[in-house]
Structure 1
Amino acid sequence: MQGKAHGKVLIVDDEPNALKVLAAILREEGYSVFKAGDAAEAEQALSKEDIDTVITDMKMPGKDGIQLMDFMAEHYPDIPIIFLTAYGSVDSAVHAITRGAFYYFIKPPDYVKLKGILARAVEQRSLKRELETLRKRVSGGTPARIVGATPEMLRIFETVEAVKDSMSSVLICGETGTGKELIARSLHYGSVRRDKPFVAVNCAAMPRELIESELFGYEKGAFSGAFSRRIGRFEEAAEGTIFLDEIGELEMPLQAKLLRVLQEKEIERLGSNKKIKVNFRLISSTNRNIPSEITAGNFREDLFYRLNVVQVQVPPLRDRREDIPLLAAELVREYGAREGKVLRFDDEVMQVFLNYDWPGNIRQLGNIIERAVVLAKKDRITTKELPEELKPYVVRVESRQQVRTLRELEEAAILAALEESGGNKSHAAKMLGISRKALYKRLGEMEVF
Structure 2
Amino acid sequence: MAKISQIIIGDELLNAKINDLNLQILAKEIAPLGFDFKKCTVLGDNFDQVTQEIKKQATENDFLIITGGLGPTKDDLTKSIVANALAVELVENLEAEKIAIKQYKAFGRVFSRESSNYHMLPKDTSPIYNPSGLAPGIHAKLGSCEIFCTPGVPRECEAMIRDSIVPMLKDRAQSAHELFVCRTHSIPEETIFFKLCPNLWKDLEEFGKVSSLPIISGVDITINLKPEFQNEESRQKIRDIIEATEIKNNIWTYGLRSIEEVIVEEAKTKGLTIGFAESCTGGLASSTITNVSGSSSVFLGGVVSYANSVKENIINVKEETLKNHGAVSIETATEMATGSRKALGVDIAISYTGIAGPGGATPGKPVGTVCIGVATSEGASAERYEFRGDRMRLKNKFCQQGLILLLAKVRDL
TM-score interval w.r.t. the shorter chain? under 0.3
Higher RCO, 1 vs 2 (CA within 8 Å, ≥6 residues apart): 1
Between Structure 1 and Structure 2, the one with more strand by share is: 2
- So what's the TM-score if we normalise by structure 1? 0.26
